[in-house]
Amino acid sequence: MILDHVGIAVANLDEGIAFYKKALGLEVVHREDVLAQKVRVAFLQAGQTSLELLEPLGEDGAVAKFLKTRGPGLHHLAFETGKIGEEMKRLNAAGLPTLEAAPRPGARGHQVCFLHPKNCHGTLIELVQPGHQLAPE
Ligand code: CMX
């Protein structure tokens, strides 16, 4: 699978963006509030992949909890698939349970699911299926 993006939790999105621009010359290519995930995100292109900076919206989302308990830094790795439903079935059958029973909407109109870091050697893994690859109903 192709690495789609690297998720990085930050306390302040604009300060995070300013750092990656100043330090590495990375530019924002997309910004969005993902209310279902309780995050405000910015994607910064980094060659063939991108960084997703994640600032929590509110006190009780997954990223808010991550920042409180672990501080800012690497939050997840996201891999692209054209067949997220099939990949979920394959993973579940292989004893790697996805956190969701079915794909759910994520940033950029993509469908996403997650694997718990405890089952992935300490790293939260996301699968993403770009919206334009969704099969017609
Ligand atoms: N990476 C590595 N370890 C993590 C982690 C992460 N992102 N998030 C939590 N953990 C660790 C905790 O530090 C804790 O470790 P210890 O037991 O050693 O202290 C353990 O996992 C906690 O597990 P839990 O009780 O299940 O924990 P949480 O309530 O913290 O939930 C998780 C963790 C992965 C189930 C939750 O964050 C989740 O559902 N994530 C998926 C959704 C998400 O992250 N959305 C935001 C991104 C959205 C986007 O990309 O747009």
pLDDT in tens, 47-73: 999 999 999 999 999 999 999 999 999
Q: What's the predicted TM-score (pTM) here?
A: 0.95
> How high does pLDDT run on average in the chain?
94
Is the CB of 114 within 6 Å of ligand 1?
yes
Q: Which residue has the higher pLDDT, 133 or 59?
A: 59
Instruction: Check if 16 has its Cβ closer than 6 Å to any atom of ligand 1.
Output: no
- Residue 66 has a pLDDT of 98
pLDDT at residue 133, rounded to an integer? 54
Q: Write out the two tokens for 97.
A: 């349970």
Tell me, what's the pLDDT at 131?
84
| pLDDT of amino acid 135 | 45
Q: Is the C-beta atom of 110 inside 6 A of ligand 1?
A: no
